[in-house]
Amino acid sequence: MSRVLVLNGPNLGRLGRRQPEIYGSTTHAELADLCVAWGAELGLDVEVRQTNHEGVMVDWLNEAADDGCAVVLNAAAWTHYSYAIYDACAQLTGPLVEVHISEPKQRPEVFRHTSVITPHAVQVVAGLGIDGYRVALGVVAERG
């Protein structure tokens, strides 16, 4: 079974409470359970983590690089400006799928229209709500 880290950045721990009109009503705990179940259906060993601390995210990405495992990453706000996350993603040896619950390019805030993660991603899945994580895991499974 292939190991996959599903990594979520700042404020995603507040899913279900934070702007449900944008991010939906599914909590992060529910999302984690769904990802584990979807992964199992695809033959993937999924571990879901969330942090509000950039250095912790960098450490997790470095761990994934060292272990050669796939990453599904929703870097949240860091997507748009974190060169530390950019550099950590550059080191990944397993596939990286960038995921966003909303479609950043359709959001009114112009800063959301740019991603420093995309250059390292094999695919970007955006605007599908929580189901985007299922699609992202499918991409990982297809890449073996």
What pLDDT does 10 receive?
A: 96
Q: Which residues pair with 70 in a beta bridge?
A: 4
Q: Does the annotation list 112 as a binding residue?
A: yes
Q: Is 113 a catalytic residue?
A: no
How far is the C-alpha of 100 from the C-alpha of 103, rounded, in Å? 7
What's the pLDDT tens digit per position in 5-16?
999 999 999 988
Q: What is the pLDDT of residue 17?
A: 85
102 known member of a binding site: yes
Pinpoint the alpha helices (H) of 5-117. 20-23, 28-41, 54-67, 83-90
The residue annotated as part of the active site, out of 28, 86, 100, 133, is: 100
> Which residue has tokens 């359709």?
106
Catalytic site residue 100?
A: yes
Q: What angle do CA 52, 83, 119 make, to 5 degrees?
A: 110
Q: What is the pLDDT of residue 111?
A: 61
Q: Is 85 labelled as part of a ligand binding site?
A: no
Structure pTM?
0.92
Q: Is 120 marked as binding a ligand?
A: no
State residue 1's pLDDT score: 64
Parts of the chain with a pLDDT under 50? none
Structural domains for the chain? 2-142 (3.40.50.9100)
pLDDT given for residue 57 in this prediction: 98
Q: Which residues are CB-neighbours of 77 under 8 A, at least 6 positions away? A: 9, 10, 11
